[in-house]
Amino acid sequence: MTRQIAKLTTGPNRGRLSPCVCNTLRMVSRVVTQLYDDCLRPSGLRVTQFSILAAVARLGEASLKQLEDELAIDQTTLTRSLTLLERDGVLERASHPDGRIKAMRLTSKGRRALEVARPLWAQAQGKVLRELGTKAWADAQRRLTRLHHVAVKKRQLGRDGRRVHSRGRRVGD
């Protein structure tokens, strides 16, 4: 059996990506995140913050649950990020008919930050798409969407009947 390993162009382990799907996705994600962060630096936002602000802008007001679903992010990480964005004055709590639900909306400072960041984000997006090609990205996006669905389905199947610990072991195993 022949195993092909993709090539990397930077880093101390130059020349190879991991054969592990998870590790490869995380490695690529870190490098791409750094590229977007570099482009967004003049706005004062990181790509993770930009993504949250853009999602809130799209939704108008967003509950924690809506943002978790929209961004596929865990509650702890999202709460930490929202707290920092609220502290920086770019997000504020919005009143919700159900007082138990934490909803957020952009402040005027947040709208301005997003206006400044959008062209910088587009610059990063353009860099990646020029190198990769829009057809290749469409194919990669289709495949990654499939992988996402498979992973979500497998996690849900693992939870049926018996709870799964965060370490992936079932209770009682």
What are the DSSP calls for 23-46, one per residue? HHHHHHHHHHHHHHHHHHGGGT--
Q: What is the pLDDT of residue 19?
A: 84
44 and 25 in a common domain: yes
Q: What is the pLDDT of residue 11?
A: 58
141 and 67 in a common domain: no
From first to last of its 173 residues, the chain has per-residue pLDDT tens of 333 444 454 556 555 788 899 999 999 999 999 999 999 999 999 999 999 999 999 999 999 999 999 998 999 999 999 999 999 999 999 887 777 778 899 999 999 999 999 999 999 999 999 999 999 999 999 999 999 899 888 888 876 645 555 555 555 54
60 and 123 in a common domain: yes
139 and 87 in a common domain: no
Q: Which residues span the domain enclosing 55?
A: 21-132
70 and 58 in a common domain: yes
Q: Please tell me the total count of domains within the chain.
A: 2
25 and 93 in a common domain: yes
Q: What is the pLDDT of residue 98?
A: 77
105 and 46 in a common domain: yes
81 and 157 in a common domain: no
Give the integer Cα–Cα distance in Å for 72 and 128.
Answer: 22
Query: Tokens in use for 43?
Result: 């706005």
140 and 63 in a common domain: no
Q: What is the pLDDT of residue 114?
A: 97
8 in a structural domain: no
107 and 34 in a common domain: yes
151 and 77 in a common domain: no
Main-chain dihedrals φ then ψ at residue 170, nearest 5 degrees: -80, 150
